[in-house]
């Protein structure tokens, strides 16, 4: 009797397919069904009609978004905030890793690393509550310190203030993530061949030149890969943080696409419109990932796929 060798192999792995089954079902329900549901951006969605049963609307909702008088402001704010995060926020963990690498006292280094991970493990709600408490002009320690040391005459209202908004957004983002994001760079630095440093020393390179010519190139590849992954988020500024930090006082510079989608969709029930804005975000994210990936492959030979 002849049996198909592929079928035989499949049958031999039947247990593994059973192991895979929950994942296949789950990803279908929570990733692929929503992907299929993207079409509601082109339809007048009604809950009774479902994804496919609602009447066709074409580009109506995309037009509605681009006609909306604040749409260019929303796009500008989003790109500005995530642009700052992608540059300053992206570079800081690398700087931290390089500086930590120069510390010879292992105990000090280890303690600092442990401390630096700490904010990563708390939620944005906690971070914003902490900032509100620390930065309040009514007896908050930061203002207390600035006033009593004579650096300031009057306490500053840091939160809900347009002149401090971006500093707060970027600062808190760095504070929360810098330690965690430096882990991977610390690992890359640990993997650098020590002989490279020896060779640089023989060539007369001082500490800074060693950092520049040996340590920095050592983290380059991993930095490129992480940047490709991060580039896709240019169109999302971080909804958790901005939902909590942005208020009426800062709306002109703090309203971003991610929060707009949630507000219009869940808050006002304009689901098709919000889906169209969301699709606009996702599409640009995909294009950005592919473009940055391509550029990186050309320029540095490092790419994700």
Partner 1 sequence: MGRRKLSLFSAANYTLLALFGFTMIYPFIYILVYSLNDGKDSMLGALYFYPRQFTLDNYAQIFDNAKIWQAYKITLLRTALGTALHVALCTLTAYALSKKTLPGRTFFTFYIFLPTIFSAGFIPYFITLQKLQLINSFWVYVIPMLFSFFHIVIIRTFLQGIPEELEESARIDGYGDFQIFLKIVLPLSGPVLATISLFIGVAHWNDWFTGAYYVSDKSLIPVQTLLQQMLTEAEALSSSMQRAAQQGGQTINTGAAGSTPESLRMALLVVTVFPILCIYPFLQKYFVKGVMMGSVKG
- State the minimum distance, in angstroms, from the CB of residue 218 to partner 1: 14
Q: Cα–Cα distance between 58 and 43 in angstroms, integer? A: 7
Binding partner 1 (rule: CB under 8 A), the pick from 16, 59, 252, 291 is 16
Q: Cα–Cα distance between 279 and 39 in angstroms, integer? A: 9
User: Binding marks (x or -) toward partner 1, 73..112, rule CB under 8 A?
Assistant: -----------------------x--xx-xxx---x--xx
**Which CB, 156 or 183, lies closer to partner 1?**
183
Name residues whose C-beta falls within 8 Å of residue 24's C-beta, 6 or more positions apart in sequence.
Answer: none
By CB under 8 A, residue 116 contacts partner 1: yes
By CB under 8 A, residue 294 contacts partner 1: no
**Which CB, 84 or 244, lies closer to partner 1?**
244
- State the minimum distance, in angstroms, from the CB of residue 223 to partner 1: 11
- State the minimum distance, in angstroms, from the CB of residue 284 to partner 1: 11
Angle between helices 165-190 and 71-101 (to 10 degrees): 40
Q: Could you tell me how many residues of this chain bind partner 1 (CB under 8 A)?
A: 95
Angle between helices 165-190 and 106-117 (to 10 degrees): 130
Apex CA 297: angle with CA 91 and CA 257, to 5°?
55
**Which CB, 207 or 298, lies closer to partner 1?**
207
In our burial notation (b when 16+ CB lie closer than 10 A, e otherwise), range 32-41 reads eeeeeeebbb
- State the minimum distance, in angstroms, from the CB of residue 80 to partner 1: 21
- State the minimum distance, in angstroms, from the CB of residue 216 to partner 1: 16
At 135, list the tokens. Answer: 């930065």
By CB under 8 A, residue 51 contacts partner 1: yes
- Pick from 267, 49, 120, 280: which is nearest to 288 by CA? 280
Binding partner 1 (rule: CB under 8 A), the pick from 44, 66, 144, 297 is 144
- Binding segment toward partner 1, per CB under 8 A, in 15-23, 65-73, 161-169, 248-256: 15-23
**For residues 221-280, which are near partner 1 according to CB under 8 A?**
222, 225-226, 232, 240, 243-244, 258, 261-262, 265-266, 271, 274-275, 278-279
At 264, list the tokens. Answer: 């219009």
By CB under 8 A, residue 17 contacts partner 1: yes
By CB under 8 A, residue 47 contacts partner 1: yes
Q: Cα–Cα distance between 190 and 178 in angstroms, integer? A: 18
Cα distance between the two ends of the chain: 44
Binding partner 1 (rule: CB under 8 A), the pick from 88, 91, 286, 299 is 286
Binding partner 1 (rule: CB under 8 A), the pick from 1, 2, 4, 22 is 22
Residue 43's SS3 state is strand
At 257, list the tokens. Answer: 């696409």
Q: Cα–Cα distance between 142 and 27 in angstroms, integer? A: 46
**Which CB, 84 or 228, lies closer to partner 1?**
228
Q: How many CB atoms lie within 10 A of CB 78?
A: 24
Q: Cα–Cα distance between 160 and 86 in angstroms, integer? A: 23
Binding partner 1 (rule: CB under 8 A), the pick from 121, 193, 198, 300 is 121
**Which CB, 81 or 226, lies closer to partner 1?**
226
């Amino acid at each position: 009797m002849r049996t198909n060798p592929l079928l035989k192999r499949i049958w031999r792995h039947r247990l593994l397919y059973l192991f895979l089954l929950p994942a296949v079902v789950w990803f279908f329900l929570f990733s692929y069904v929503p992907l299929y549901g993207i079409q509601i951006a082109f339809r007048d969605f009604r809950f009774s009609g479902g994804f496919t049963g609602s009447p066709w609307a074409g580009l109506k909702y995309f037009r509605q978004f681009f006609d909306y008088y604040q749409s260019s402001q929303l796009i500008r704010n989003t790109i500005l905030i995530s642009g700052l995060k992608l540059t300053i926020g992206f570079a800081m963990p690398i700087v931290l890793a390089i500086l930590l690498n120069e510390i010879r006292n292992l105990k000090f280094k280890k303690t600092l690393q442990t401390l630096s991970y700490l904010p990563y493990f708390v939620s944005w709600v906690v971070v914003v509550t902490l900032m509100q408490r620390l930065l309040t002009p009514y007896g908050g320690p930061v203002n207390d310190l600035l006033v009593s040391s004579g650096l300031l005459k009057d306490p500053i209202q840091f939160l809900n203030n347009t002149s401090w908004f971006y500093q707060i957004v970027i600062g808190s983002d760095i504070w929360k993530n810098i330690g965690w994001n430096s882990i991977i760079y610390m690992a890359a630095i640990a993997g650098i061949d020590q002989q490279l440093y020896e060779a640089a020393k023989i060539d007369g390179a001082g500490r800074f030149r060693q950092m520049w010519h040996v340590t920095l190139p050592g983290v380059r590849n991993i930095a490129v890969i992480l940047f490709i992954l991060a580039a896709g988020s240019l169109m999302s500024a971080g909804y958790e943080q901005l939902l909590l930090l942005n208020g009426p006082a800062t709306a002109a510079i703090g309203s971003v696409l991610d929060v707009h989608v949630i507000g219009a969709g869940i808050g006002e029930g304009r689901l098709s419109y919000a889906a169209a804005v969301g699709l606009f975000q996702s599409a640009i994210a995909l294009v950005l990932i592919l473009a940055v990936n391509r550029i990186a492959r050309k320029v540095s030979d490092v790419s994700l796929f």
